[in-house]
Amino acid sequence: MNFSRSDYPFLGFGVGLRRPHYILISESHPKIDWLEVIAENFMVQGGRPLHVLEKVRDQYPIALHGVSLSIGSADPLNFAYLRDLVQLIRRFEPAWISDHLCWTSIAGRNSHDLLPLPYTDETVSHVAQRVRVVQETLGRPLLLENVSSYMSYAESTLTEWQFLTAVSEEADCGILLDVNNVFVSAFNHGFSAESYIDAIPVKRVAQFHLAGHSDFGRYLLDTHDHPICDAVWALYERAVARFGPVSTLIEWDDNIPEFPVLAAAAEDARAKHHRIMELREVGIPKQIERPAETDLPTHHRA
């Protein structure tokens, strides 16, 4: 199972398919390049969700995005879950499948949260071996997404970007780079978001996520309930400058606005992407090649 970024089409600028927009998207087909679908929401026997997804799939490219693979868990892989995922893949033929570089369950219990892993060589081996099994089971490479985190482990010996890179190289999988998650974790742990972006291998990144977060003063929370802030947009521009054309998706999971607001955010991403790509074509200006560190409000500084 070999990952090659060239196998991943540039789908353009999409949004997450969420329940308040099911009817609009499945019946009115608003203009949007593509949709990302939370896999677990469709692991049901029947009913409206699957019917909606069939109609959506007729009109749009989709990607399946999981939240419960628990790829970093010390528990054995959940093959019943993988069977459900395979069924969805066969039925809906997504452009790709992604999940998170984290653990969600242990001892058969599920936290329903994306918990960070210790960044060690041992964890790299553990996760990479499991990713290879998952990829064999699914019959295709997986994209792993960096999570927002609020804690780290004393035993970590690698930076988060070294860890993400090492897992993707050893497992030969792709990366879904969540730009907002980089920003949130950088703030919460006091590292440079720009250094993170600059260290991720270009050949591994097949998708971007963008989202809004909540600012609680001493920390940022990845709530997906706000518009994308300027600092995250700036980081996105830096990512586009580095990684080139990468399918981009706007996530919004709480206080979900009317669809046109989401579609407008996707268009904002398109405009920024086009601007940076044009600059790339004529030669990358210094401010894009090496922009200043993301300027945080003073209360964000440690």
Partner 1 sequence: MSDLQRLIYRLITAPEGVEANARCGRGIGLEGIAAIVPGDGRLDSLERLDIYATAYFYRLLNCLKEDYPTTLAVLSEDRFEKLVRDYLAAHPPTKPSIQHAGKALPGYLRGHCYGIEQPYLEDLARLERSIIDVFHGADAIPIERKNLESISPARWPTMQIRTLPSVTILDCKWRVGKLLRAAAEGEPRALPEQAQVSVLVWRQHFTVYHREIEQSEACLLKLAEEPVAFARLCEEVSRTTDENDPVARIGKLLERWLADGLLTAVLPGG
List residues binding partner 1 (CB under 8 A). 40-41, 43-51, 68, 70, 73-75, 78, 81, 103-113, 115, 118, 122-123, 126, 150-155, 188, 190, 218-219, 221, 302
Q: How far is the CB of 76 from partner 1 (least distance, A)?
A: 11
Complex with partner 1: residue 48 or 274, whichever CB lies closer: 48
Complex with partner 1: residue 61 or 66, whichever CB lies closer: 66
Distance CA 114, CA 149 (A): 8
Distance CA 35, CA 158 (A): 34
Distance CA 153, CA 261 (A): 38
Q: Are 155 and 120 in contact (CB under 8 A)?
A: yes
Complex with partner 1: residue 84 or 267, whichever CB lies closer: 84
DSSP 88-141: HHHHH--S-EEEESSEEEETTEEEEEEE----SHHHHHHHHHHHHHHHHHHTS-
The shares of helix, strand and coil residues in the chain, as percent rounded to the nearest 5, are 45, 15, 35
Distance CA 186, CA 49 (A): 36
Complex with partner 1: residue 117 or 269, whichever CB lies closer: 117
Tokens for 199? 């260290």
Q: How far is the CB of 50 from partner 1 (least distance, A)?
A: 8
Q: Taking the CA of residue 160 as centre, how many other CA atoms within 13 Å lie in the half-sphere pointing to its CB?
A: 32
In the chain, what is the greatest distance between 2 CA atoms, to the nearest angstrom?
54
Tokens for 163? 């860890």
Amino acid identity of residue 119, one-letter, is Y
Q: What sign for the dihedral angle of Cα 136, 139, 143, 144?
A: negative
Distance CA 36, CA 18 (A): 9
Complex with partner 1: residue 48 or 275, whichever CB lies closer: 48
Q: How far is the CB of 40 from partner 1 (least distance, A)?
A: 4
Complex with partner 1: residue 44 or 261, whichever CB lies closer: 44
Complex with partner 1: residue 78 or 192, whichever CB lies closer: 78
Question: At 143, which helix (H) or strand (E)?
Answer: strand 143-145
Nearest alpha carbon to residue 144 among 128, 158, 133, 159: 128
Complex with partner 1: residue 109 or 286, whichever CB lies closer: 109
